[in-house]
Copies of this chain bind each other. A is one copy, B any other.
Amino acid sequence: MVIYNGTIITVNSDFDIIKDGFVGIKNGKFAQIGKFTDDFTVPTAEEVIDAEGGIIMPGLVNTHTHLPMTLFRGLADDLPLFQWLHEYIFPAEQKYIQAETVRYGTLLGCVEMILGGTTTCCDGYFFADEIAKAVYDSGMRAILGQGVIDFPAPGVPDPKENIQVVLKFAEKWQNVSPLIVPSIFCHSPYTCSRQTLKKAKDAADSKAMLFQIHVAETKNEWDRIYSEHQTTPIKYLDQIGILDPNTLLVHTIWVDDEDIALIARRGAKISVTTESEMKLASGIAPIPDFLRCGISVGLGTDGCASNNDLDLFREMDSTAKLHKVNTLNPTVLDAPSVLKMATLEGAKAIGLEKDIGSLEVGKQADLIIIDTDKPHLVPMYNPVSHVIYAAVGSDVRDVMVAGKMIVRNKNLLTLDIQEILARVTRISKNIRI
């Protein structure tokens, strides 16, 4: 397959931008990427796609989601965190999260992400087996973490069974499809005991899985960990042996210079969910410091209960702008740095950088085409500026995962959107808190 007549943002190590470029795809991988010169003839490929002057770039990587929570989009906003969690989100999960609702919440999340140019997500929730089936049906790529927490959880009423459920999920899905990668999602250092954290990390290591954990999210969490363990949340995790290159720390807001240096030394990765952290008033993760220390930082949208969308374009824009105003320095987190966080650095954060995150020969053919023939994307002096500061998810025209088109001219080819919207609407009508 050949895609031509677009401006290619490669996100390769030289951050090459190729005007009038083309991309050749073979066996699900990039076989050729180059400039489409005057004497270029459109090759006889099985399929030829004209990008019509748009932007061709890597599919976006969303490093933190809770897919079934798409069901709770806008259920409760503008509340103190404790009240939001205990009066709305936890009761809603207890009452309404079941296999069927998980399936449709997940499908809705996948539809929104795919149509908005996200080709890979890294999710953490319960009912991961149901989530995996739904994501598989959608055609997108995902790392899916089954949850571990010291409380009765959706689908796992007895916390003693958490680790077993994770291992069973991993065994079932480790060889089903290269697009679905099992993982473990250990909720946080304040909802899991030291013993649970240790067991969960051992389970992750035994299956060579990514270990995901929320940490240093709020000042309250920091105070609690410090008073219980006389150290910071990051150092506490390190004492248990959790910080290593297979660990993805999520949020990571309340950290000091020693914590950051420790994360860098251990090679652990970070996922920042800017808009959710703004909306919940958790704080501002020091991304410029993380990058200065060489830590891989990915962006995530978090779940729809706290964002309230899964649009990584908006997340990139907010991230670039927030850190400028926070440091009073307009040169901080420039457009290329933020684009990397949503592509190659995000891929590194979840351990998939050999396969995805940039348009390079030999990598998996995950790409998107942005339609730039729109009032808010004209004129175009710099395609990277447009991607960060002007485009939104609805500007994505085509989406390819592993060489297969899953969106063509804004039509999703893998799922029946109207059926999913109708099912979710029906489910939501019963949700009353």
Contacts and interface: CB of A to CB of B under 8 A. Distances in A.
A89 to B, nearest CB: 13
Given A325-B278, A428-B381, A375 B111 contact: yes
Contacts of A111: 375
A288 to B, nearest CB: 12
Contact of A421 (B116, B325, B375): B375
Given A79-B331, A80-B330, A386 B277 contact: no
Interface stretch (A167-175, A256-264, A310-318): A310-318
B389 A325 contact: no
Given A318-B321, A385-B74, A328 B390 contact: no
Interface string A305-349: 001111100100110111011011111101100000000000000
A115 interface: yes
Give the oligomeric copy count: 2
Contact of A376 (B116, B378, B385): B116
A311 B376 contact: yes
Interface in A50-89: 71, 73-75, 77-81, 84
A340 to B, nearest CB: 14
A415 B74 CA distance: 36
A178 interface: no
B77 A382 contact: yes
Interface size class of A (residues with CB under 8 A): 35 or more
A230 interface: no
Contacts of A116: 376
B376 A278 contact: no
B279 A79 contact: no
A280 interface: yes
Contact of A277 (B112, B325, B431): B325
A427 B335 contact: no
B334 A379 contact: no
Give the 4 A-B CB pairs with smallest separation, nearest first: A379-B428, A278-B321, A74-B385, A78-B334
Given A279-B321, A281-B332, A378-B425, 14 more contacts: A71-B379, A73-B378, A77-B385, A78-B331, A115-B375, A279-B325, A308-B389, A314-B314, A318-B318, A376-B393, A378-B424, A379-B427, A379-B431, A392-B392
A108 interface: yes
A100 interface: no
Interface in A367-381: 373, 375-376, 378-381
Interface string A290-314: 0000000000000000011111001
A278 B75 contact: no
Given A322-B278, A325-B282, A394-B392, A330 B78 contact: yes
A283 interface: yes
A417 interface: yes
Interface in A411-433: 417, 420-421, 424-425, 427-428, 431
A20 interface: no
A229 interface: no
A324 B392 contact: no
Given A284-B325, A324-B278, A325-B277, A74 B382 contact: yes
A379 B424 contact: yes
A398 interface: no
